[in-house]
Each structure stands twice: as structure tokens, then as C-alpha cells.
A and B are shown apart, each in its own frame.
Chain A
Amino acid sequence: MTELELQLKSIAYRRTILQIIKQARAGHTGGSLSCTDILNVLYNAVMNVSPETLADPDRDRYVQSKGHSVEALYTVLADRGFFPAADLATLYRYKSPFIGHPTRKVRGIEQNTGALGHGLSVAVGMALAGKQDGRAYRVYVLLGDGELAEGSSWEASMTAAHYCLDNLTVIVDRNRLQITGTTEEVTGLEPLAAKFEAFGYAVRSVDGNDIRALLDVFAAVPFAPGKPNLVLAHTVKGKGISFMENSVKWHHRVPTDNEYAAAMAELDAVQSVLER
């Protein structure tokens, strides 16, 4: 898939994310939009996993530790054919498996998440199993920056480095906002890259909303033999919709009719520029 095709996919994904959140009248809008490009690149250009290979022990694995941004994940999995796109209309509905956090009841999802600070340990276990069995698969795990206050993430980081898990790629969606305010106001994280380096990661910082940059950084994995990989993905919460960007109130706000129309118009405009 070309870079342009991926850029167009990101626009389509953002449309779907907003559409299903509006229809369900619930969802994590800002965080889903910040990680859209990361998921797009992983599932369309990086990871060796598809509906056909879901039971293959050699498939790549993805764990979404920031489980609340599940609308982005459902959108990408539907597009990749893991389940019919029509299923997205059941988001948040009674008896639907499409709840507000990932579960294995949805085809393509490897692990139930939602409580923060859990995904990295599980991903470490998957990567460790791959090393033990001599399998070539890679494990990708997406963390929110706010969840880094959970100490369990740092326990898991120590273990990842101790076992030299260079088949593990940790992506931090560094959008700098959490529900209360900026991460630095709530519980300061910086200097974040230095902290990860001190914990034994090979760290690369990247614009997490830039398709080309994401393609390049994932192509460079493993960054250093014997070290777990950490992609510090600098993103914008609410990315792609001007009035949602960098705004705390869009953490889990649902667009009104007018806001939805304005958001769609913005996406249309970006798409026509790209297609020119």
C-alpha cells in the first residue's frame, strides 16, 4: 500500500470513528483519533496478521493497552476484514461484543484490556513465548501516556529489558493529554525518552501522525539487537479535526450534529487536497 493510500485510509478511518461514536452516543473520541495513524500503519503495512492467519502461531500480535481508544481498533479491524463493517453499528448496544474496551469476543483482538497498566505485561509474555519457541513473530503494544503513571508498566519494562525482548515494540501514544488535563500537570512524565532508555529500551521518537515517519520507524525494528523497542509517538489528541485537537474536553465527548458535519467537512477537504 502506498503512502498516499495509507493517508486516505486514515481519513476514512477518522470518518468511521466519528460516525460510530456519534451513532452509539459514546466513545473515546480524542484518543481514538490520536492513534488512528499508528493502527493504520501497523495493520496495513507492518504486521503479519490477517483474518486468515489469526490462528497461526507465527502471526504478529497486537495488544492495545490503552483499551479505551477501542473505536479506532474496531474501525481498523473491520476494514481489514476481521468482521463485517456492519457490526460496528452495534457499538455499545445491549448484548453486543463491541463494548467500550477490547475483548476477545471480537475477532482479531488478542487480549481483553481496559484497566490501564496491563497490556505491556501481557505483551511481554507473548514476546517471551516467541523467544522461547524460536518463532519470528513480533509483538506490538500501544500504551497511552497517561497510563504510564501505573507502576505495572515499569515492572513490565524491567522484565522486557531483562529478557532482551527485541521482538517487542512498545508504542507510546504521546498525545500529552489525559482526562484531567495535560500529563505534565497531572503527574509529570518528562524526561520520558530518557526514562525509557534508562529502563533498557532502544528508543526512537517519531511524529505519530505522520504515515511516512511511522513506516520508517517500524521498518527499522529491531532498533538495537537484544533491546526492546520503544516508539515514542508524538501525536495530537483529536488529530484531524481542528476543534477537537489538543482539547481535553474531547477525551470522551460525542459530537453534536453540527460538530459532526463540520468534522466531516474538514476530512473531505483534506481528502480532496490529497487526491489532487
Chain B
Amino acid sequence: MELGHANLEEFASTILELARQDTSVLVMTSDSRGSARLTQFGEQLPNQLVEIGIAEQDLVGIAAGLASCGKKVFAVSPACFLTARGLEQIKNDVAYSDQPVKLIGISAGVSYGALGSTHHSLHDFAALRAIHNLTIMAPADNFETRQTIQAICGYPHPVYVRFGKAPLFHLHAPDTAFAIGKAIPIRNGRDLTFVACGETVSAAAAAAELLEKDGVSCRVFSMHTIKPLDQDALVEAAQQTGAIITVEEHSVCGGLGEACAAVLLQAGLHTPFKIVGIPDEYTVTGSQSEIFNHYGISPDGLTQTARQLLFTRTVG
């Protein structure tokens, strides 16, 4: 796999292109243009960047007002603050009011690493999934990020997108089909399916390669849209491969894994199933990759989880 750049960089270049073509595209920041790699955007299109300062509630409320007047608004702020401090504004001013704001949560999950839990967003999927009228997305690489931003720019309803700041491996060919709500298959397999999202997808893909060498054939999905979930792909994978491991940079409570579990159980499928994410504890301190390794969100960790799950299935 070839290493690309951070999804932050891909977002910045994509939104700059879109905004150059359409003056109604606005980017809003909360003293976050530097960390969002939007300094160049501000220099080149100063009239299309609205700085709000460190005030996430205000950021989201104003975004709703701008969107109500026809602006294509991307409200960009660290995911941890945007989706916690601004949660009531997201719920009421954006989702309930159906103002088509695009909420961009940057440096999501544990991207901020050793800055600690104040700066981690391990709650955002859970909090936002319970809010009606909000699409939730977590692109896995630069291709998915570009496709996501292009797809949502003119989308007439609210969307939340979150990504991190680490350079990411390219996972897809440039002509890969992309649609909101449709999982992208990265690898086909018979014995087990990894359903991953965001920056954990490459670890799942690498684990699948390792397992293949041992004769375990794995399917891998990038489930870039957490809501609405691609239920058809999930159910088919459970039926065809007989085991599911979900992987996410989020609390194991209320995220992708529990969303998948609900779909499978209600489809009558009691497939061997494991949720890999950040457990419900004080998160270990360290960098993003150290935290990933600690909790088994790594090629080795996921390989081990897969073996355990398949062993359980074999011995019953």
C-alpha cells in the first residue's frame, strides 16, 4: 500500500477547489484554520472563510443561519469540541431544523494522542447517531475524503464528517465506486469480515493480508457511512463469511460496532461477532498509534482477535 497524506490535507485541497468554482461555498472555523490546514484557503478566498473564534456553539448556530440563506456551509472544528460543546446546536439548529450544514470534525478520535481525553472524540458517533436527520461519515483514506466532500457539498441535508491528521495509506483505485451509505469492499473473503471505518480501515486491511498467509480468507469493508448504515452489505457478509469484526476509532459504546450488532441481531443472525474500539475506561495515554496498538487496533491485534473469534466458532 502506498502512503498518501493526511485526510485533513485532502479536505483542504478539495474544499478549495469546490469553493473556487462556487462562491456560495463557505468554510467556517473556530480559531482552527491552522490545524484544519485552511490557512491557504483563507489567503486565497478570504471572503469565503468565516472565522468565529473559540465558540463552537456559536459556530454551529451561525452555520445554520448561513445555510438557511443558501450558503453551502462547512463548519470546521476539532471533532471533540464540535460534537460536545456544539451538540445542542447540532441537534436543534441543524438536524431538527433541517439546515444543510456540513459539520467537519477534524483531528477526530484519538488523533490528538497525548493531549488527552479533553481532546479525544470517542463519543461523537454515539451522540450523533441518536439524532435524527444527520448523516455520519468517517472516510478511510484520501480518495474517500475527496469523494465524501464532493458528494456532500450540494447535499440538501445535514452531514457530519470526521477524520484525523495522520498520513494514510491509499486503499482504493481512483475509479472505485463511491456513494453515501454504500460500504466499499476492499478485499473479498470467505471466513470472516472486517467492517471498519476511518483511520482503522488500513489496519483491518493489513490484518486481512496477514491472515491470508495463514489460509484465513477475510472480507474487508470500509464502512465510511456510519449512518445510514449499509445494512445489505453487512447482512450479506455475515451470511457469507459467518463472522464479523467491527473496528473503529471510537468508544465501543454506541458506535459502528453496536450499530452493526443491532442490524445483525434484528436480522436474526447470531454471527460470531466482536467490537474492536476504545474500551469503556480511562483511555491509555500516548500517541494515536500507541493507543491503537494498546487496544489492538493494529494488524497484529486484529489478527489475534480474528483467530480468537474463529477458534470460538470452531470449538463452539
Contact = CB atoms under 8 A, between A and B. Distances in A.
A126 B68 contact: yes
Nearest to A163: B50
B62 A125 contact: yes
B47 A132 contact: yes
24 contacts: A57-B70, A103-B96, A104-B98, A111-B68, A111-B93, A112-B96, A114-B92, A117-B57, A118-B88, A118-B92, A118-B93, A121-B62, A121-B65, A122-B62, A124-B61, A125-B64, A126-B65, A126-B69, A127-B65, A128-B66, A129-B70, A130-B69, A156-B58, A162-B53
Nearest to B65: A125
A152 interface: yes
Given A104-B97, A111-B97, A128-B50, A118 B65 contact: no
A152 B58 contact: yes
B65 A158 contact: no
| Residue of B50, B67, B97 with most partner-chain A CB within 10 A | B97
Contacts of B99: 111
Interface string A132-158: 110000000000000000011001101
A122 B71 CA distance: 13
A152 B57 contact: yes
A23 interface: no
Contacts of B55: 155, 158-159
Given A104-B97, A114-B92, A122 B64 contact: yes
A210 interface: no
Given A112-B97, A132-B47, A155-B58, A118 B89 contact: yes
Interface in B43-61: 47, 50, 52-53, 55, 57-58, 60-61
Closest 9 interchain pairs by CB? Answer: A125-B65, A121-B61, A129-B69, A155-B58, A125-B62, A112-B97, A122-B65, A155-B55, A125-B66
Interface in B201-251: none
B184 interface: no
Q: Is chain B's interface secondary structure helix, strand, loop, or mixed overall?
A: helix
B63 interface: yes
Interface residues of B, number: 27
Nearest to B57: A152
Interface of A: 57, 103-104, 110-115, 117-118, 120-130, 132-133, 151-152, 155-156, 158-159, 162
| Residue of A113, A118, A133, A158 with most partner-chain B CB within 10 A | A118
Contact of A121 (B47, B57, B69): B57
Interface string B92-131: 1100111100000000000000000000000000000000
B61 A125 contact: yes
Interface in B76-94: 88-89, 92-93
Nearest to B64: A122
B180 to A, nearest CB: 24
Contacts of A104: 97-98
Interface string B142-169: 0000000000000000000000000000
Contacts of A117: 57
A104 B99 CA distance: 11
A64 to B, nearest CB: 13
A104 B89 CA distance: 16
A103 B50 CA distance: 27
Contacts of A125: 61-69
A47 B53 CA distance: 31
Contacts of A156: 58, 61-62
Contacts of A114: 92
Given A121-B57, A152-B58, A115 B64 contact: no
A129 B65 CA distance: 8
Given A118-B61, A122-B61, A129 B96 contact: no
Nearest to B66: A125
Contacts of A128: 50, 62, 65-66
Contacts of A103: 96-97
